[in-house]
Amino acid sequence: MVFRQKTSKLLRIIKNLIIVLVRSVYTVIKFIFQVLNQLGKYLAGKRLFVIVLLLLIIFGIVSLFILIPGTHVFEGNLVVKEVSFTYNDQQPKLFLQSVRRIKKLETEGIQTLTFTGKFTSQSSPKLNQLNTLKINLTDSQSKLIITPINSPITSEIDLNELRLQPNTKVEGLTYDFYRQRIAFSLKPQATPELDSQPNILNLYLGEQPVKISLQGYKLPEVKLPEIQDSQTPLEFTLNPDIKELNLKISQDNTIYLTASELPEDDEQWFRSKITTKDVIFERLERSGDIRDDLAISTIIEGKVQMAEQEREIKQGQFLMAAKPDMPLDIRLIRHIQILPKKGLEVRFVGKTQQINIGLDKNFPVSSIKGSFLDGILPRDTIIAVFSFTAGMITSLLTYIIENASKPDSK
């Protein structure tokens, strides 16, 4: 009995609350209609005022579209000392090709490789009895150096191709024109969505003997008594039976490639149209304390263009997104070419709302912004439209203020 009384009382309270709520909503709606009705009666006799108000709204909307930033395609052409990027596609991509007559190839990092052929070594005579040698490079300081025995001019060592696996980071790509040496680090980054596959560097060793130097290695199938530890350098000459050597790079490796000469005008060592992310034109100068690390721009010169606006970039300036700690969204490197006595020419394409340029990341001196209408109208037309709408808004606001201040205005 007590439970029924409490339930009945609770239902009456809820019913009263619903009634109060409905009445409140009805009162608010009625008030809004009254205000709109009075405003309609007032504006009925103020047709010119209504037209002016509508025009003000229209011009305000147009101005807003001009001021709202939009995302636009940008392109650039830079000459740089160094560039780093991550390959951002689903299929392996040819990156480096047809580098002929190599004087020296050096790699640093962990990998496993096998040589087959005739071995000759004065320091380790046991190698002379082998026809196959398996080598494990065991740590990040391990080195493999391949050089021709004869003159570098007659070298037959060729780099046929280097293919990048998805999500591989190419760090510190440089060209030293005094040494005629390409240098870069490959940093594979496995993802759950993709099976981890090694980056393949395919070499042609040629018909002539080559010299092999090793450091930081293990020979799992042979014991050399004269070698005390893995840091003792090992050198031998190889007359290869298998002329092609595939270096499978599945962990971080640094590659130094010294060529006998630059490519001809109709040759390209670097492949075009590389889909990218995290592209940067800078290097980090380390001091041992991360708080003292200093970013150094590697840009020598160049230009960037977006929304029919072009900016020149001078040596030492940074190319940045709106947030200085975020890299510019460069989505495609269209072209990489070696420029003698200058550096690397890099042409690229991307999308962004704003590009900043300056010697200091936190204090850009120049920028490019694109509005929402930049993708629809030419830049000159947008400037003319904005000037016209700004003038019209000023005139219309002046008219409204003057009429609102008259005695008969309510």
Which residues, in sequence order, are CB contacts of 201 under 8 Å at separation 6+? 159, 161, 162, 246, 247, 249, 255
Pick the more confident residue, 19 or 298. Answer: 298
Average pLDDT estimate for 241-257: 87
| DSSP labels, 221-260 | T---TT--STTS-EEEEEEESS-EEEEEE-S-EEEEEEES
Would the pLDDT of 180 be above 60? yes
Q: Which amino acid is at 154?
A: T
Give the C-alpha separation, 365 to 371, whole Å.
Answer: 20
pLDDT band at 386 (very low <50, low <70, confident <90, very high): low
Q: Which amino acid is at 32?
A: I
The residue whose two tokens read 């790509």 is: 173
Residue 345 has pLDDT above 80, yes or no: yes
The contacts of residue 47 (CB under 8 Å, 6+ apart) are none
Q: What is the pLDDT of residues 64-97, one digit of tens each?
A: 666 667 778 889 999 999 999 999 888 888 998 8
Average pLDDT of the segment spanning 167-194: 83
In sequence order, the 6+-apart residues with CB closer than 8 A to the CB of 314 are: 299, 301
Q: Is the model's pLDDT at 410 over the cut of 50? A: no
Helix 379-404 / helix 47-67 crossing angle, nearest 10 deg: 140
Whether residue 344 contacts residue 175, with contact meaning beta carbons closer than 8 Å, is answered with yes
Higher local confidence (pLDDT), 141 or 291: 141
Reported as type and span, the H/E element at residue 117 is strand 111-120
At residue 303, the pLDDT reads 92
296: pLDDT strictly greater than 90: no
CA dihedral 216, 219, 220, 224 (to 10 degrees): -120
Per-residue pLDDT of 24-43, as tens digits, reads 777 877 777 676 666 566 55
pLDDT in tens, 93-113: 899 888 888 888 999 888 888
**Which residue did the predictor score with more confidence, 143 or 409?**
143
Please determine, for residue 250, whether its predicted confidence score (pLDDT) is greater than 50. Answer: yes
- Look at residue 43 in the predicted model and tell me its pLDDT: 56
* pLDDT tens digits for range 45-65: 556 666 666 666 676 666 666
Q: How buried is residue 278: exposed, middle or buried, by Cβ count under 10 Å (0-12/13-18/19+)?
A: middle
SS (H, E, C) 275-335: EEEEEECEEEECCCCHHHCEEEECEEEEEEEECCEEEEECCCCEEECCCCCCCCCEEEEEE
Q: pLDDT tier at 347 (50, 70, 90 boundaries)?
A: very high
SS (H, E, C) 128-163: HHCCEEEEEECCCCCEEEEEECCCHHHCCCEEEEEE
Q: Any idea where the domains of the chain sit in the sequence?
A: 2-68+383-404, 71-88+272-370, 101-259
CB 238 within 8 A of CB 210: yes
Residue 209 has pLDDT above 80, yes or no: yes
Residue 361 has a pLDDT of 83
Helix axis angle for 2-44 and 47-67, nearest 10°, is 110
